[in-house]
Amino acid sequence: MNANSPRHEIDELHLQLGLLQTLDVGLIVLNKDYQIHLWNSFMENHSGLLHSKLFKRNIFEAFPELPSQWLRHKIDSVFLLKNRSFITWEQRPYLFKFKPHRPITGEAPFMYQNATLIPLKSPGGEVDNVGIIIYDVTDAAIGKIGLEEANTQLQHLSQTDQLTSLYNRGFWEARLRHEFDRFSRTQAPSSLLMMDIDHFKKINDNFGHPAGDEVLRQMAAILKDVTRTTDIVGRYGGEEFGILLIDSNAKQSLRVTERLRDRISRLVVKHLNDEIRFTISMGLTEISNSFQTHEQWIQLADQALYQSKSNGRDRLTILGTED
Ligand SMILES: Nc1nc2c(ncn2[C@@H]2O[C@H](COP(=O)(O)OP(=O)(O)OP(=O)(O)O)[C@@H](O)[C@H]2O)c(=O)[nH]1
């Protein structure tokens, strides 16, 4: 038989496809009408549908759940451009919703898949068929997703104060520095509010450390409550907190300090049989071009807080808005 005869080509193709049948990947061959010409044993095993049942059926009719418009477009461009095309699980977790089958991937809800679309050329250079190879990448995908989740959790832990769930000092100060740098470009006002619970040591001494912790937690919850989600709330030290009020000048920030004083004055922290009331002192400073560094901004707000303390506590002092 002539090596280039159609009969020989088909035999050759069958030989190759026979080999591919044994591989642990899915293989589908489609013609230009999206009719299935090959559905290998991997696909049979995972779909529960035999090649003989699917032979010459339009793949989009046989699998209406496929993203038909998108996949049709992909297949068409492989026919047209005669180039390979790739689909990764990160783009779409799967093409065919198969159950995961490996014990290690017990937590996977389905088989994650990568796919390669290959133009199958006849010796004349025509592309009459497209092969789709489906790879089971569930283990790799689950590993990567797990790693990303662990990283997010780690990142959260490294930014957050355990007791109050506010930003910890390091992260809060980094955000403040960022805002300070941004100000030099935008000149958008922000204000820094530093605050401290009055006579907190007495709360610990009189009611115990766990009661003190509860006071800190409830104080933190109020801080979150009276601020916008864009404001940056942090625990600066033991019983000292800082809030970066974004896009608020000192005058606008007074609405927050008033709300805060009102909420704290009505707060009664119940712990065991005790009812704990407390007050806070505050220092407020609007950002200014006169600061060379963000530390100077913190220093002035801290100085304002210190003045509130030395003038009798339970009050607000504003410093540094005259320029
Ligand atoms: N319960 C509890 N106490 C803390 C924590 N961190 C710091 N403290 C306590 O906070 C207290 C701070 O006391 P001081 O700095 O003397 O301030 P103060 O008693 O609030 O007095 P003024 O600030 O002058 O009104 C100390 O007793 C610390 O032990 C914490 O995480 N939990």
Confidence (pLDDT) at 1: 47
Using DSSP's 3-state secondary structure scheme, residue 293 falls into coil
Answer yes or no: is the C-beta of 201 below 6 A from any ligand 1 atom.
yes
Interacting residues of 156 by C-beta distance below 8 A, sequence separation 6+: none
DSSP state of 162: T
Q: Active site residue: 239, 258, 275, 295, which one?
A: 239
Answer yes or no: is the C-beta of 255 below 6 A from any ligand 1 atom.
no
- Considering the domain 6-145 in this protein, what is its CATH number? 3.30.450.20
CB 9 within 8 A of CB 3: no
Tokens of 22: 């044994």
Confidence (pLDDT) at 23: 75
CATH match for 160-318 among 3.40.50.2000, 1.10.340.30, 3.30.70.270, 3.40.1370.10: 3.30.70.270
Answer yes or no: is the C-beta of 163 below 6 A from any ligand 1 atom.
yes
Distance of CA 37 from the midpoint of ligand 1 (Å): 76
With tokens 């007495």, the residue in question is 202
Q: Which atom of ligand 1 lies closest to the CA of 205?
A: 27
Distance of CA 258 from the midpoint of ligand 1 (Å): 24
Helix ranges (H only) for the chain are: 6-21, 41-47, 51-54, 59-62, 68-81, 138-159, 169-186, 200-207, 209-226, 250-266, 294-310
User: What letters, b where the CB count within 10 A reaches 16 and e where it falls short, cover 63-83?
Assistant: beebeeeebeebbeebbeeee
Distance of CA 200 from the midpoint of ligand 1 (Å): 5
Tokens of 110: 């389905």
Give the residue, by CA position, lying nearest to ligand 1 atom 23. 198
Answer yes or no: is the C-beta of 301 below 6 A from any ligand 1 atom.
no
Q: Which atom of ligand 1 lies closest to the CA of 215?
A: 1
**pLDDT tens-digit profile of 141-180?**
988 888 888 888 888 778 999 999 999 999 999 999 999 9
CB 132 within 8 A of CB 78: no
Answer yes or no: is the C-beta of 309 below 6 A from any ligand 1 atom.
yes
Say whether 9 is catalytic.
no
- For residue 170, give the amino acid letter: G
Tokens of 193: 């509010």
Q: Residue 127: phi, psi to the nearest 5?
A: -100, 105
ipTM: 0.91
- For residue 39, give the amino acid letter: W
Give the residue, by CA position, lying nearest to ligand 1 atom 31. 238
Domain with CATH 3.30.70.270 in the chain: 160-318
Measured over the CA atoms of residue 13, residue 16, residue 21 and residue 23, the dihedral's sign is negative
DSSP state of 168: P
Answer yes or no: is the C-beta of 215 below 6 A from any ligand 1 atom.
no
Answer yes or no: is the C-beta of 238 below 6 A from any ligand 1 atom.
yes
* Spatial strand order in the sheet of 190-197: 232-235, 240-246, 190-197, 280-286, 316-318
Domain with CATH 3.30.450.20 in the chain: 6-145
Give CA separation, 14 vs 7, 11, 20, 226, in Å. Answer: 11, 5, 10, 72
The β-bridge partners of 195 are 241, 282
Confidence (pLDDT) at 20: 67
Distance of CA 213 from the midpoint of ligand 1 (Å): 10
> Would you write out the chain's pLDDT as a tens digit for each of its 323 residues?
455 566 666 676 666 667 766 778 999 999 999 999 999 999 999 999 999 999 999 999 999 999 999 999 999 999 999 999 999 999 999 999 998 876 554 578 899 999 999 999 887 888 999 999 999 999 889 888 888 888 888 887 789 999 999 999 999 999 999 999 888 888 889 999 999 999 999 999 999 999 999 999 999 999 999 999 999 999 999 999 999 999 999 999 999 999 999 999 999 999 999 999 999 999 999 999 999 999 999 999 999 999 999 999 999 999 996 54
pTM above 0.90, yes or no: no
Report the C-alpha gap between 101 and 88 in whole angstroms: 19
